[in-house]
Amino acid sequence: MTNEIVNPPERIYKTTEKHRADQKEWYRLHREEALAWSKRFRDEHSEELKAYRNRPEVKEKKRENSKRYAAKRVPGEQARYAREWRAKQAAKRPKRPPFDPVAYRKKYYQEHREKIAEYSKIAYQKFINDPERRARKAAKLREKRRNNPEYQRALRAKSMSKPEVRARAYVLQNKWKKEHKDMVLAQVNRRRTREYTASGSFTVLEWKALCAFFKHRCAMCRRKRKLTVDHIIPLSKGGSSFISNIQPLCQSCNSMKHNKIMLPTITGPLFHIGEQTSVPLFTF
Ligand SMILES: [Zn+2]
């Protein structure tokens, strides 16, 4: 057989450092070519190569070599080498940034915007049409608000910093004030009493009873007018805000009286002026 592979002949030249370097350089420049050539050779001579590998003397040599390497091997060395190699490869790869769930969700939302909007619409419709669920949610919210008054205050302050919200609140507040005039009156009086560091307060009910007692007329001129709260002994002169120190006056009488001390001009049960009690001392 002419194609049979034989062992290489004895080397006729001595391998020098320079020769080795030249070989290395050639291989570097012609790597692809060399690999292609080697592959072609292996493909063309596969049968012969197989026969060569199966020769008893070649097999014997392979066994010897493998024994030699096994003797040289340090336990654990192979594993260490593999580990190092893997670490080296990992270092070569570009580093992936750490996982950021917020950014991930954001990206997901942007990519699926329409789908999410569609789903949330359906979910909202389901919620809106279920009175039981709505009531549950409202109760939960109320509970939350009750438990976190400071948080609620902060939230309110934040929302009130927006001009449009403030404008809306202002309209609502005015509406409420118009519908609850008596309560506003009591509120204003509480504040005024606080300002004068005077004592006492009266309730809406007490004020209504007082107005009814005066037959919804001014306590001085007896005309049927819009009634205002007047302190018989003014707060500025040490009067209190108990109902016993209050009389209903029309606006003009109230302005005229200013901070003088004047008693109601009607006959009837007398008020115990200045007495520090919230129990109304009149009958009706
Ligand atoms: Zn009057």
Query: If you measure from the C-alpha of residue 214 to the centroid of ligand 1, how many angstroms do you get, rounded to a whole number?
Result: 12
Taking only Cα atoms into account, the Rg of the chain, rounded to an integer number of angstroms, comes to 51
Query: If you measure from the C-alpha of residue 224 to the centroid of ligand 1, how many angstroms do you get, rounded to a whole number?
Result: 8
Q: Is residue 100 classed as helix, strand or coil in its secondary structure?
A: coil
Sign of the CA dihedral running 20, 26, 30, 33: negative
Q: Which residues surround ligand 1, an ion (CB under 5 A)?
A: 218, 220-221, 250, 253
Query: If you measure from the C-alpha of residue 215 to the centroid of ligand 1, how many angstroms do you get, rounded to a whole number?
Result: 13
Query: 237: closest CA among 245, 229, 227?
Result: 245
Per-residue confidence (pLDDT) for residue 241, from 0 to 100: 85
Per-residue confidence (pLDDT) for residue 46, from 0 to 100: 92
The total of other beta-carbon atoms located within 10 Å of residue 135's CB is: 10
Query: If you measure from the C-alpha of residue 216 to the centroid of ligand 1, how many angstroms do you get, rounded to a whole number?
Result: 11
Q: Is residue 247 classed as helix, strand or coil in its secondary structure?
A: strand
Query: If you measure from the C-alpha of residue 71 to the centroid of ligand 1, how many angstroms do you get, rounded to a whole number?
Result: 122
Q: What is the pLDDT of residues 77-118, one digit of tens each?
A: 889 999 999 999 989 888 888 888 999 999 999 999 999 999
Query: If you measure from the C-alpha of residue 26 to the centroid of ligand 1, how many angstroms do you get, rounded to a whole number?
Result: 120
Query: If you measure from the C-alpha of residue 208 to the centroid of ligand 1, how many angstroms do you get, rounded to a whole number?
Result: 17
Per-residue confidence (pLDDT) for residue 3, from 0 to 100: 61
Query: 227: closest CA among 204, 209, 211?
Result: 211
Per-residue confidence (pLDDT) for residue 282, from 0 to 100: 43
- d(Cα 64, Cα 70) in Å, to the nearest integer? 10
Query: If you measure from the C-alpha of residue 235 to the centroid of ligand 1, how many angstroms do you get, rounded to a whole number?
Result: 20
Query: If you measure from the C-alpha of residue 218 to the centroid of ligand 1, how many angstroms do you get, rounded to a whole number?
Result: 5
Query: If you measure from the C-alpha of residue 68 to the centroid of ligand 1, how many angstroms do you get, rounded to a whole number?
Result: 125
Per-residue confidence (pLDDT) for residue 47, from 0 to 100: 92
Per-residue confidence (pLDDT) for residue 269, from 0 to 100: 40
Query: If you measure from the C-alpha of residue 273 to the centroid of ligand 1, how many angstroms do you get, rounded to a whole number?
Result: 20
Per-residue confidence (pLDDT) for residue 107, from 0 to 100: 93
Query: If you measure from the C-alpha of residue 198 to the centroid of ligand 1, how many angstroms do you get, rounded to a whole number?
Result: 25
Query: If you measure from the C-alpha of residue 238 to the centroid of ligand 1, how many angstroms do you get, rounded to a whole number?
Result: 23
Query: If you measure from the C-alpha of residue 211 to the centroid of ligand 1, how many angstroms do you get, rounded to a whole number?
Result: 13
- d(Cα 134, Cα 136) in Å, to the nearest integer? 5
Query: 210: closest CA among 179, 236, 239, 185?
Result: 185
218: Cβ–Cβ under 8 A, 6 or more apart, which residues?
224, 225, 227, 248, 249, 250, 253
Query: If you measure from the C-alpha of residue 254 to the centroid of ligand 1, how many angstroms do you get, rounded to a whole number?
Result: 7
Query: If you measure from the C-alpha of residue 275 to the centroid of ligand 1, how many angstroms do you get, rounded to a whole number?
Result: 24
pTM: 0.36
pLDDT < 50: residue spans in the chain: 1, 267-284
Q: What is the pLDDT of residues 63-82, one digit of tens each?
A: 999 999 888 888 888 899 99
Query: If you measure from the C-alpha of residue 135 to the centroid of ligand 1, how many angstroms do you get, rounded to a whole number?
Result: 51
Query: If you measure from the C-alpha of residue 220 to the centroid of ligand 1, how many angstroms do you get, rounded to a whole number?
Result: 5
Per-residue confidence (pLDDT) for residue 5, from 0 to 100: 63
Query: If you measure from the C-alpha of residue 249 to the centroid of ligand 1, how many angstroms do you get, rounded to a whole number?
Result: 5
Query: If you measure from the C-alpha of residue 190 to the centroid of ligand 1, how many angstroms do you get, rounded to a whole number?
Result: 23
Q: Is residue 67 classed as helix, strand or coil in its secondary structure?
A: helix
